[in-house]
Structure 1
């Protein structure tokens, strides 16, 4: 009996070993059993189980989804999202451990993070980049590289997430593709359609992507304000704002790679988008107002890359962006009237050129250096036209604005990496940068150090020291005044806004290739954010970007997965942050504020059935109250649910979802500081949706880099 038992074990082990050698390491293999599922907001490395069984014997093997390389954590992102209702690259990035979405942006360990495709940093803004990520099928992702501290050779400072897209050359030519459709209901309806096609040849490959997003929007905002003025008077202002909008966005991209020889490649990619937005806003209460706004956006981005087998990389990129808009406003408040028509436009021309070289010196040593030159010209204007000239009621209409503003950035960097055996490695670099605008002309230097120690298989310690600079949006530095909320709210530009300088130390520990723990401290000099201030001279509230003395954060984070047999996977993520901000010259009310807050996210993924493939995901998030400048941010929470059904031999996926089931996700920020007293109650609606994805032609996908548009209007 014992002999038979041990023979069974031996045969089972041989079967597992042979199966692992014969099967491709792909999340799309038909005979693989994928058993991972993680959170909608913060996720971690979960493990895929592959097992073979004999009578009375079962062996379960797990393969880690995260591994460490020099200065980075590499995640098998397709496995990590394999059972989740994730259908685009943006939502896939949110599944990485430590990644959260706050205020419409992605954060890594509480800090801003740059997302790039295939290691290529482009000149699109963050908003345009996120739109592009939402248009890329999640099935095209090969892996994700997470760097809490990116070395200078990546041409990015600070935290970086590099999404590598699947590529295929060699062998017979093939066509693959994917179509996608989505309907959502959030008070009003919205739609997404997407089509993707890729061609793989022996030396040449190309891909095409088109997406269309459109629908209607609806919002309600109740404002309560006690507006104090310098003469000692106090005005009670209560308004009810109703906003309706409709939008259309067309995004498209075409890319091509030509392999001249092994590791000798010429690449080109074009990204474009066109969008229209129309809104109607009516305000009732202390202020009576109606506003009609229209805007259009055009984006054209082209990039050419050349890579050689001896470590040389060169590239050039051109970005053109144009955003004209108009606004017709009529407002009456306490006897004062505004009636005008506004036309404004932002036009950006930006060029980027880079040259980089890497050397493998042997004995674990590597050397890299390069130069990056970026220049941009911002042509912007804003014109006001009085529509009620007879009454002369528009005495407070601001002056017209027209500007031509040029920026130049020249960056030189050098770095090295060294492996000290199999357990310890180091990556260090130094970048020197010259930044020139009409307001600033300065040199800065940015050191970066990464240490990685792997004492045992599945255990990783990473220590990162970094520095970074955050540049303001183009429109934020224009000397312009715009109207918001019917005229009571004004948006002011700040031509003297400084770039923020950030310094950070981060310690990360990976335990058993799946438990992630991290601690960090960040000091940001000249930190800036848009804040509200109730004017002491006029009945207006002013939104303006201002530089603080500093912002500081210290934080702890833990991401812990659990498995309950084969039917339930849970992931718990806990984040604790100490937040400190100080500004000695914030209007007439300097502040020095600090607070501790926490975030908890729990994701439950239930395997309801394997045949048919049916899975249910429940996600809950809770955040305690926090602060931003003089804002008090109340606590918030949400519960999301999604049902995923796979059919047609894995080629089709149907997702049904409901987000923010209890309508608790939207915060209601308020200010109770010094002379400032205002509360904004924003509407919150649950969202229902259904999406269908269908892949054809085998679909061995690929994709390309993103474009940085974070600073455009």
Structure 2
């Protein structure tokens, strides 16, 4: 309570020190992290899915410059982040008004958003895409295009952010580059080193990138539960969990472009990564457990694009992903014991082919159509060995542990789309499209159609109204649909796959208003049929809590959002973001306790950048966030908030930047989810640690950057 008092006092002080004058700055976000039940296989530090539906924090800009084009808002992102402690493309995207960060991912107006580079959509997963964005220097960004409802020609449904990277054409050959290093301390230390090099020639250009993230992690979780069984007995369970880990991630990329003629280009890009993760987890209390886990991930992604002057685009992409891991677990609780060794692996081979055509018909009319075919094969296995029975041999499976799993699962998606756009003078424009898609797996074989409509009206310069209607389908992760059982921590928590998990279908209506090219207001309503998320359930048959992805009847959200920048002369730039959400979820067959829950919650974010000195270039950024309590499924999510601070020093004629920062100063950012519903009674208290760090960036050779694209790996484990 004392920490929340300090937090509230800080936010009030920030607000009181600012008058509502002109416009400029905005907000930054720090995601709330906890270990996901899914991460037992890969030991990735993902967040539990219970955070996925909470808009977390908005973002900022100094002198926000935005203009409207057909169906999209175009931001001068370099100016938005000019005075902010932002050093990579991922953090730069977070500074766009309306963008939030939750569960280690990005949201736009409370809904999921896809990020692409230079208009190119790839098969790399969301997690791998975010890793790539974090390795790209923010100085390479030219602009950002925000679409609350992407037209079908982008080969993406729903919200989309297209990051355009700077490109040099013609002129003499040149080399430019950037070096970056970061150290941070969040109980344990972490490091990041990055090098980027770009060659620009008359017709040929290439870029090279290498990034290395490494360090140690530490987590503490206190669990208290009252577990009711069908026989009427109630068991009081209390545990203290301590996790320690160390990891290395190497990311690398090589991209080339050859300009055959004007608007006639052949491009190739390779993205790769290699990572290792080792973790130790000890649990004390009602359950005594010791777990040792290791995992390794390889990713290779190659893409070839061809673009012609007459609007034809074609390309192909290959993604290969392999993630073997192992786990040694010894656990005892009451009269039951578990002792086993497990090996598992996910291997994905995925191909994508696309062909697209656009026509400019004159008189403000445009026509586009195309086809996209994607196919993937998932080779996965999970083997259990009884260490007590077969110590040293790892042969033979005990009857007291789950069955082995081995599968070869193929997915195919064929998408056809057509659309048009029309400008009615300088004030009104319309962009509409329809996509028809066939989705086939061993379980599902169905056709769906996805309409998209964007209507933009600009009554005067700086004033924009945009109305967007969209539809989308969200496919489950590959591992979530495997018929496998694994363990989180000790033997009390199990993760169950769901082979019959349905894709979720979402429909959203969004209205956005931009006032004076600075103030942004939006309202939306979204209905998601068969919404799925990983949920916790205390079994009535035995002493175990089960994490499993389940389809709800639906999820509904209605929300409003306001992004209000202001400044005081030349020394303070600020942005206030307010979000209000009505959240409703219903599931009639959730185990033996159906639910129908709704709640209203709010988020307030205030970001302030103080110009302490222009010579030397010294700026201080202070950000505060407060959020009221919310729900997800049968979870109750208490209120939370944080205060972050960063000091930025630029020197050497702008070529060097030194950044000092402290995140979650009062250690209030981590929520403590709990369940008090029907027979379910669980509280998870996740420890929260303040993070301090320092980073240094140096640019050389003028650094007149180049463009590149991303990849999709969100459904990998």
TM over 0.5: yes
How far 1:169 moved relative to its partner? 1.6
Residue in structure 2 matched with residue 123 of structure 1 by the alignment: 123
Contact persistence 2:62–2:83 (CA under 8 A):
no
Deviation at 1:307, TM superposition (A): 0.3
Question: What pairs with 1:681-696 in structure 2 (closer than 5 Å)?
Answer: 681-696=685-700
Distance 1:45 1:354 in 2: 36
> Could you tell me which residue of structure 2 aligns to residue 146 of structure 1?
146
Q: Name 2:313's counterpart in structure 1.
A: 313
Judge conservation of contact 2:373–2:413 (CA < 8 Å) in 1.
yes
- State the distance in 2 between where 1:71 and 1:45 align: 22
Q: Which residue of 1 aligns with 2:640?
A: 636
**Following superposition of structure 1 onto structure 2, how do residues 90-239 of structure 1 map, counting pairs within 5 Å?**
90-239=90-239
Q: Distance in 2 between matches of 1:38 and 1:225?
A: 41
Aligned to 1:569: 573
Which residue is equivalent to 1:7? none
Aligned residue for 1:492? Answer: 496
1:626 aligned residue (630, 643, 646): 630
**Counterpart selection for 1:645 from 642, 649, 653:** 649
Query: What SS class does the counterpart of residue 486 from structure 1 fall into?
Result: coil
Counterpart CA distance in 1 for 2:567 and 2:480 is: 48
* Structure 2 residue corresponding to 1:39, chosen from 18, 21, 27: 27
Structure 2 SS opposite 1:664: coil
Q: Distance in 2 between matches of 1:490 and 1:597?
A: 31
Partner of 2:709: 705
Aligned counterparts of 2:705 and 2:498: Cα–Cα separation in 1: 45
The question of 1:589 aligning with 2:631 is answered no
> 1:291-330 maps to which residues of 2 (within 5 A)?
291-330=291-330
Question: 2: distance between equivalents of 1:201 and 1:489?
Answer: 57
Tell me what 2:670 maps to. 666
Q: Does the CA contact (< 8 Å) of 1:44 and 1:514 recur in 2?
A: no
- What SS does the corresponding residue of 1:487 show, helix, strand or coil? coil
Aligned residue runs from structure 1 range 287-686, under 5 A: 287-389=287-389, 395-686=399-690
2-structure distance, mates of 1:366, 1:540: 58
Task: Tell whether the 8 Å contact from 2:386 to 2:397 is kept in structure 1 after alignment.
Answer: no
CA distance in structure 1 between the partners assigned to 2:189 and 2:471 by the alignment: 44
* 8 Å contact kept, 1:301–1:319: yes
CA contact (8 A) 2:467 2:510 kept: yes
- Deviation readout 1:123-143 (Å, 9 max, x if unpaired): 111111111111110011110
CA shift in 2, pair 1:709/1:503, >3 Å: same
Q: Which whole-Å CA distance do the structure 2 matches of 1:573 and 1:655 have between them?
A: 25
- Contact kept, 8 Å, 2:384 with 2:397, in 1: the verdict is no
Distance change (3 Å), C-alpha of 1:393 and 1:708: closer
**Distance (whole Å) between structure 2 residues aligned to residue 591 and residue 135 of structure 1:** 42
Write the deviation string for residues 569-601 of structure 1: whole angstroms up to 9, x where unpaired.
110000000000000000000000000000100
1:653 and 1:335, CA in 2 relative to 1: closer, same or farther beyond 3 A? same
Does the aligned pair in 1 maintain the 2:208–2:253 contact within 8 Å? yes
1:89 aligns with 2:77: no
SS in 2 for 1:537: coil
- In the alignment, the residues of structure 2 paired with residue 309 and residue 452 of structure 1 have an alpha-carbon distance, to the nearest angstrom, of 28
Once the two structures are superposed, residues 16-47 of structure 1 have per-residue CA deviations (whole angstroms, 9 ceiling, x without a partner) of: xxxxxxxxxxxxxxxxxxx9543213235542
Q: Distance in 2 between matches of 1:148 and 1:603?
A: 24
How far does residue 283 in structure 1 lie from its aligned partner after superposition?
0.5
Give SS of 1:267's match.
Answer: strand
* Inter-partner Cα distance in structure 2 for 1:263 and 1:112: 32
Q: What is the Cα deviation at residue 65 of structure 1?
A: 1.1
Offset of 1:335 from its aligned partner? 1.5
The offset of 1:395, in angstroms, is 3.9
Residue aligned with 2:490, SS: helix
Could you give the per-residue CA deviations for residues 522-580 of structure 1, whole angstroms, max 9, x where no partner exists?
A: 00000000000001111110000000000000000000001100000110000000000
Q: Look up the SS of the partner of 1:595 in the other structure.
A: strand
Shift of residue 251, structure 1, vs aligned partner: 0.1
Measure, in 1, the Cα distance between the counterparts of 2:77 and 2:241. 42
Do 1:36 and 1:83's aligned partners in 2 also have CA atoms closer than 8 Å?
no
CA distance in 2, matches of 1:209, 1:159: 28
The verdict on how the C-alpha distance between 1:233 and 1:95 changes in structure 2, with shifts beyond 3 A counting, is same
Report the TM-score when normalising by structure 1.
0.92
Conservation of the 8 A alpha-carbon contact between 1:44 and 1:560: no
How far apart in 2 are the matches of 1:157 and 1:74? Answer: 19
Q: Which whole-Å CA distance do the structure 2 matches of 1:286 and 1:504 have between them?
A: 46
Distance apart, 1:682 and its partner CA: 0.5
Equivalence for 2:256? 256
Distance 1:502 1:226, change over 3 A: same
Q: Deviations over 1:433-463 (max 9, x none)?
A: 0000000000000000000000000000000
Task: Give me the whole-angstrom Cα distance separating, in 2, the residues matched to 1:89 and 1:37.
Answer: 18
Q: CA deviation at 1:102?
A: 1.1
1:413/1:432 contact within 8 Å kept: yes
CA contact (8 A) 1:446 1:466 kept: yes
CA distance, structure 1, for counterparts of residue 705 and residue 78 of structure 2? 12
Aligned partner of 2:47 in structure 1 is none
Q: Displacement, 1:105? A: 1.3
Q: Give CA deviations for 1:131-174 in whole Å, capped at 9, x if unaligned.
A: 11111100111100000000000000000000001111200000
Asked if structure 2 preserves the Cα contact closer than 8 Å seen for 1:221 and 1:681, the reply is: yes
Give the secondary structure class of the aligned counterpart of 2:715: coil
Aligned counterparts of 1:323 and 1:390: Cα–Cα separation in 2 = 26
Q: Which protein, 1 or 2, shows the higher relative CO under an 8 Å CA cutoff with sep ≥ 6?
A: 2
Tell me the residue number matched to 2:37. Answer: none
Task: Provide the rounded CA distance (Å) in 2 between the counterparts of 1:567 and 1:283.
Answer: 51
Instruction: State the alpha-carbon separation in 2 of the partners of residues 218 and 309 from structure 1.
Output: 54
Query: What's the secondary structure of 1:128's corresponding residue?
Result: helix
Cross-structure match for 2:15: none
Gaps of 5+ in 2: 1-22, 30-57
1:680-703 deviation line (CA, Å, top 9, x unaligned): 000100000000000000001123
Q: Which residue of 2 aligns with 1:51?
A: none
Deviation at 1:104, TM superposition (A): 1.4
**Does the 8 Å CA contact 2:61/2:81 hold for their aligned counterparts?**
no
CA gap 1:393/1:346 in 2 versus in 1, 3 angstroms: closer
How far 1:678 moved relative to its partner? Answer: 0.3
- Provide the rounded CA distance (Å) in 1 between the counterparts of 2:616 and 2:25: 17
Q: Find the aligned partners of 2:67 and 2:514 in 1 and give their Cα distance.
A: 9
| Superposition TM-score, scaled by structure 2 size | 0.92
Question: 1:704 aligns to what SS in structure 2?
Answer: coil
Within 2, Cα distance between the matches of 1:344 and 1:704? 34
SS in 2 for 1:370: strand
Distance 1:302 1:361 in 2: 34
- Determine helix, strand or coil for the equivalent of 1:412: strand
Q: What are the ranges of 5 or more consecutive residues in structure 1 without an aligned counterpart?
A: 1-34, 48-63
